[in-house]
Chain A
Amino acid sequence: MTRMILAVLVAIAMASPARAELDVTALQIQPRLDLRATAGTHGERLRIQQSELNVTASISDGDSEIVNLNLQHNFETPMTGRAKQMHFSNLYGVFNLGLDRPAVKVGQFTVPFGTLAEYDTHPIPLQTPYARTLGIRIDRGVGLEGRQGDWDWWASLTTGDGRERHDGGGAATARAARDFEVGQDIIRAGVSGLVGEEIPVFPTNAMSMPMGLDDEVEHVDKWRMALDLDWLRGIDNIRGEFVAGQDNGRLVNGQWIYYEHPFSYDSSVALQADRWDQGDGTSLGIGAQYHHRLDDWSGIRLAAEHRWADTDAMPMSGMSDSSDLFTIQYYRDWAWAPDF
């Protein structure tokens, strides 16, 4: 972590003209608490799922924002190993080179693949299928993001093995997305690609998050292509991700579909289903989630998820081929910002 902070500071110094007088014009400090009571196949628990601190700082040269720094630090979570590393600890700077030029991203950030590029999944019980489809989420490296005509685009070169790890591989990821307005609807469609070496693969399993499987992780050469959509259909939201590719030459593919219906500003219900097929088997999942805001800063979610795994190999010790997870989440956000 210290080396990453130093790297970001060095990058700021390199990006800043010597003559420019830099000034912090905005600083936001946003703690977050996420308590979860869970029940299901893996027992009953009441835990602090996340207690984290998000810090955002804007540094300007008087007229223009030079860099936006983002830090996310987690203090407490029951997650361990790769599951934890996929979830927490963004640390990056976004360097603005001018409105009509792409911004440069340096540090530890979410790879821009599919809906990961636009939605932060980590505070929500129902997860998108990145752990299966990619095997990584937060990764170290450099990226570019910009806009060309109606298209938003992202590209990154990262170590390909998750944050705070580097086993000699690497990943190149890119995505482009644009909006289409059709009557009352807005459809955001995206296309993504990833190619890399020595990228982790979790064995096919029926877990909601691949916890405790670090010793079973393999590293393979991957490529992935994905189409994603984010459809505001009236008041409803339908999202999907359709992924195909290869792991060491073996075909893989999967689909994820998500539907959310709001009852009011404060409450909504979401349903999702996903499927992922890779060399050692197929996993399937369905989930439902109800969200209710208690006030501007807090809310609850009730979630239920059922997963199946159909594996070609012998089941891993202690692993079942299906699992249930029921979650009651309470979250609370805070924010502070000093005057400048």
Chain B
Amino acid sequence: MKLTFNALKSSRILTLLAVVAVFALTAGEAMAGLCVWRNPAGDINEIFGGGSYRTIVVNVGGKRSAIERAIGTSLDADETQLKFWPVTKNGTRVGTVATHLGKGDFGAIEVVVAIVDPPNGPAKVKEVRIQRDRERYRQQLRSATFLNQFDGKQAGSALKVGADITAAHPSAVRSSQVVALSVKKMLVAYEQLGIASR
């Protein structure tokens, strides 16, 4: 009886491993890199003066090449889906929040990007925040001096350290570029994926 039970258990494990192996071989294009939004209430109140939000997850799908051309580099392997939060106030869409997990020198840099759609122009950044990081120059990276540089930037902006962005600190060029690339990715994805109309 015990032998039968162990055999059954082994077969379940083998079956599971086989299923996992199939997933591993076939699911390469079905993954998602989704950064959480840690403080929606505080961010919405401070950036938009209140409102409400809903969550949407969008597959990058066939837009991947167009996005990669626009940002000038490849999307990460886990960036096949992206997460956005349209913000509504008094029944009117006032903006959209996106979050992105950038790869810093010593851990994730979680970037919050608030995007608005002016009546007669392309979408632009209203505000950028950092909600979590493990970087050496944390204070400079989170400073208004560094983050305010992103205000008003659009998908077509260079968003490159040394071009239209100054590094947060001379020794934090790489982490500054990680933040800039996060903003660029989310602005380009916002346009390419038609988030404004969702």
Q: List 6 A-B contacts (CB under 8 A).
A: A48-B16, A58-B55, A65-B52, A235-B105, A237-B134, A336-B27
Contact with A along B75-95 (1 / 0, CB 8 A): 011100101000010010000
Most chain A Cβ neighbours within 10 Å, of B24, B31, B54: B54
Asked if A76 is at the interface of the complex by the 8 Å CB criterion, the answer is: yes
| Of A147, A184, A185, A336, the contact of B41 (CB 8 Å cutoff) | A147
Contacts of B138 in A (CB 8 A): 184-186, 232, 234
Give min CB distance, A236 to chain B, whole Å: 9
Asked if A239 is at the interface of the complex by the 8 Å CB criterion, the answer is: no
Contacts of B53 in A (CB 8 A): 64-65
Asked if B44 is at the interface of the complex by the 8 Å CB criterion, the answer is: yes
| With A28-B32, A99-B44 as contacts: A297 and B78 at CB distance below 8 Å | yes
| With A63-B88, A75-B16, A336-B32 as contacts: A25 and B23 at CB distance below 8 Å | no
Q: Interface of chain A, helix or strand or loop or mixed?
A: strand
Give min CB distance, A46 to chain B, whole Å: 10
Binding site for B on A (CB under 8 A): 25-28, 31, 33, 48, 51, 58, 60, 62-65, 68, 75-76, 98-100, 146-147, 181, 183-186, 232, 234-235, 237, 262-265, 268, 295-297, 332, 334-337, 339-340
| Of B44, B103, B108, B135, the contact of A235 (CB 8 Å cutoff) | B135
Measured as residues with beta carbon below 8 angstroms from the partner, the interface class of chain B is 35 or more
Which 8 interchain pairs have the tightest Cβ spacing? A64-B52, A60-B54, A296-B78, A58-B55, A335-B32, A63-B88, A262-B106, A235-B106
| With A65-B53, A99-B45, A235-B134 as contacts: A264 and B12 at CB distance below 8 Å | no
Contacts of B76 in A (CB 8 A): 296
Give min CB distance, A28 to chain B, whole Å: 6
A339 pairs with B59, CB closer than 8 A = yes
Residue of A nearest to B107 (CB): A262
B20 pairs with A63, CB closer than 8 A = no
Most chain B Cβ neighbours within 10 Å, of A25, A27, A98: A25
- With the chains together, A265 CA to B57 CA distance in Å? 26
A26 pairs with B56, CB closer than 8 A = yes
A147 pairs with B88, CB closer than 8 A = no
A65 pairs with B54, CB closer than 8 A = yes
- With the chains together, A100 CA to B55 CA distance in Å? 18
Contacts of A31 in B (CB 8 A): 23
Contacts of A100 in B (CB 8 A): 41, 45, 50
A26 pairs with B57, CB closer than 8 A = yes
